[in-house]
Amino acid sequence: MIWEDNREGSYATGGFDGTLEPGTRPALLIVDPARAYVDRECGLYVGPSGLPVVEAMRSLLAAARAAEIPVIVTEVVLRPDLADAGVFGRKVPALEAFTRGNPFGEFVDGLEPADGELRLTKQYPSAYFGTPLAAYLTSLKVDTVLIAGFSTSGCVRASALDTMQYGFVPIVVADAVGDRVPAIHDANLFDIGAKTGEVWSLELAEKYLVELAR
DSSP, collapsed to helix, strand or coil, labels residue 48 as coil
Catalytic (active site) residue 155:
yes
Rg for the chain, CA atoms, rounded: 16
The DSSP code sequence of 100-130 is GT--TTPBPTT-SPPTTSEEEEEETT-----
Determine which one of 155, 173, 202, 209 is catalytic: 155
CA separation for the pair 176, 183 (Å, rounded)? 16
Contact in structure between 148 and 31 (CB atoms under 8 Å): yes
All residues at 6 or more sequence positions from 60 whose CB lies less than 8 Å from its CB, including other chains: 28, 146, 148, 173, 176, 202, 205, 206
| Residues belonging to the active site | 155
